[in-house]
Amino acid sequence: MASTIKLKRGSGAPTSGTLAAGEPALDLTNNKLYSSTDGTDVVEISPTIPFDGQFADGSVSAPSVTFSSDTNTGFYRIGADTLGLATNGTLRAKWDSSFSYYSAANTSATYKQYHTLGTFVVDVNVGQTPFSAYQFQYNSGAVGSIVVNTSSTAYNTSSDYRLKENIVPIENAVARIDNLNPVRFNFISDPSHIVDGFLAHEVTPVVPEAITGEKDAVDNEGNPVYQGIDQSKLVPLLVAAVQELSARVAALEAN
């Protein structure tokens, strides 16, 4: 590149290819500065605050917004109202005008959409079923998933026997069930909606793994940190209680 930089001035934005590499142009009508790094794409930089910039569309292998030491990683315009993110010259994600997003690693399989009302959609459209729409990991190990097929969705937690040890039957299930206190109530935020359920702190002594958080917990500013319950964790105890009662009924019938 030559050591002398030419400055062109005119009205309106210069078109692609009208500036040599490193050559700036000043639009006196709109007070905008333009430049080109490669002699083709033109970059616009506004000299006023707030600064705005217009970049060439770019491509997946040469995004228009990149980094000095990593020119194949950055953002580029895929098409009308569609923005792409590329790393190492490969499309990784893209967003469209409805703020729909999908991972480009498997674009036909992982589609996520955000609407103004908060609706969140995962649209799976692949040949294989069931398909894992989400996988949850802890320390790089899978601990759960959301799996969908053509007609239903399953919410899974890890349950493979190879992950478990010290396996023994559940005992005294009926006695433990008697210590649960199912109630009817409404949430303060929704007085007209009456539901069945439990009070989290009352379940803790019986099935502690079903409860998240501590009773009456607060944060550093004194705001409540509410407990939660995963009622599915009660199912093993309920099944064991039914089996105990079934065995008792069978014994009575045998006599």
On whether residue 227 sits in a domain, the answer given is yes
Q: How far is residue 71's CA from residue 121's CA, in Å, rounded to a whole number?
A: 33
Same domain, 158 and 178: no
Greater confidence (147 vs 5) lies with 147
**pTM beyond 0.95:** no
What pLDDT shows up at residue 1?
Answer: 47
> In sequence order, what DSSP letters do the residues of the chain get, joined into one string?
--SSPP-EEESSPPPTTSS-TT-EEEETTTTEEEE-SSSSS-EEE-SSSSP-EE---B-SSSBSEEETTEEEEEEEEEETTEEEEEETTEEEEEE-TT-EEEEGGGTTT-EEEE-TT--EEE----SSSSEEEEEEEETTEEEEEEEE-SS-EEEEE---GGG--S-----SHHHHHHT---EEE--TT-TT--EEE--HHHHTTT-GGGEES-TT-B-TTS-B---EE-GGGGHHHHHHHHHHHHHHHHHHHH-
Average pLDDT over residues 76-85: 90
What pLDDT shows up at residue 28?
Answer: 74
On whether residue 114 sits in a domain, the answer given is no
On whether residue 9 sits in a domain, the answer given is yes
On whether residue 92 sits in a domain, the answer given is no
On whether residue 31 sits in a domain, the answer given is yes
On whether residue 117 sits in a domain, the answer given is no
What pLDDT shows up at residue 29?
Answer: 74
Same domain, 185 and 136: no
Q: How far is residue 7's CA from residue 23's CA, in Å, rounded to a whole number?
A: 7
Count of domains for the chain: 3
Q: Choose the final residue of a domain: 56, 77, 101.
A: 56
On whether residue 214 sits in a domain, the answer given is yes
What pLDDT shows up at residue 12?
Answer: 73
Greater confidence (92 vs 198) lies with 198
On whether residue 126 sits in a domain, the answer given is no
Same domain, 185 and 224: yes
What strands, in cross-sheet order, belong to the sheet with 24-27? 8-10, 24-27, 32-35, 43-45, 53-54
Same domain, 151 and 180: no
Q: Nearest 5°: phi and psi at 135?
A: -130, 135
Task: Locate 184 and state its tokens.
Answer: 């009817």
The candidate with the shortest Cα–Cα distance to 206, out of 186, 236, 184, 226, is: 236
Average pLDDT over residues 5-20: 73
Q: How far is residue 24's CA from residue 7's CA, in Å, rounded to a whole number?
A: 5
Instruction: Give 141-191 pLDDT, tens digit per residue.
Output: 889 988 888 888 899 999 999 999 999 999 999 999 999 999 999 999 999
Instruction: Give 189-242 pLDDT, tens digit per residue.
Output: 999 999 999 999 999 999 999 999 999 999 999 999 999 999 999 999 999 999
Q: Choose the final residue of a domain: 40, 56, 72.
A: 56
Same domain, 247 and 184: yes
Q: Choose the final residue of a domain: 56, 73, 100.
A: 56
Q: Contact, 227 vs 218, CB < 8 A?
A: no
Average pLDDT over residues 80-106: 77
Instruction: Give 104-132 pLDDT, tens digit per residue.
Output: 555 454 455 555 566 666 666 655 667 77
Same domain, 137 and 192: no
Radius of gyration of the chain (CA): 31
Which residue is associated with the tokens 């992982």? 110
What pLDDT shows up at residue 6?
Answer: 63
- Range of 238's domain? 173-254
Whether residue 74 is predicted with pLDDT greater than 50 in this model: the reply is yes
Same domain, 185 and 153: no
